[in-house]
Structure 1
Amino acid sequence: MHAKYQIAYHFVWTPKYRRNILVNDIRKSLVDILYNTCNKYGFEILTLEVMPDHIHIATHGNVSSETIKEYIEGCQR
């Protein structure tokens, strides 16, 4: 039996108290950090939308959603 599948994960993050802080230079830095982290760990960003008070990211990779979440939450400059 053969199987083929593609699992995509959708994550949403919000700053504490959902403050509108994801703008201008912070937004640009965040996008760079997210793309670099995804490249480093070998998974692809399908869509990324940064709003002033939250982030949507859709991705897939060959690891679990929990592992992807840990990589992204642990990313730094």
Structure 2
Amino acid sequence: MDYRYGSHTVYQIEYHFVWVTKYRYKILKGEVSERIRELVRQTCEAFEIRIVQGVVSKDHVHILVSYPPEMAPSEIMRRIKGRTSSYLFEEFPHLKKKYWEGIFGHEGIFARQ
């Protein structure tokens, strides 16, 4: 077991998240796939979330993360999805044609502890 340590805590909290693109469009390929990987890594580093494993498929993302006990799973996904979404729309204008409402990820997620 890989325990993590805080100033007064020892913990091992891991969640497996899966989120899909809206309408299951296969847009997560090529440069978009590489960029989403970078953005997820950067976001996780910024919030002390450790990526244990991750896979970006053409229409969904799997990520197994370890995170501090003061964070809720919903907060983790809000940060990751929110940041990646805004940057992807800014950097890849062609995504706006498929997702004119400005949201490329489906609202729901799958989370398993």
Tell me, yes or no, if structure 1 residue 24 matches structure 2 residue 30.
yes
Gaps of 5+ in 1: none
**Helix, strand or coil for the counterpart of 1:74?**
helix
| Superposed counterparts of 1:1-77, under 5 Å | 5-62=11-68, 63-76=71-84, 77=87
May I ask how many residue pairs the two structures share in their alignment?
Answer: 75
CA distance in 1 between counterparts of 2:22 and 2:82 reads 16
- Please say which structure displays the higher CA radius of gyration: 2
CA distance in 1 between counterparts of 2:11 and 2:81 reads 26
Gaps of 5+ in 2: 1-9, 88-113
| Root-mean-square deviation over aligned CA pairs | 1.6
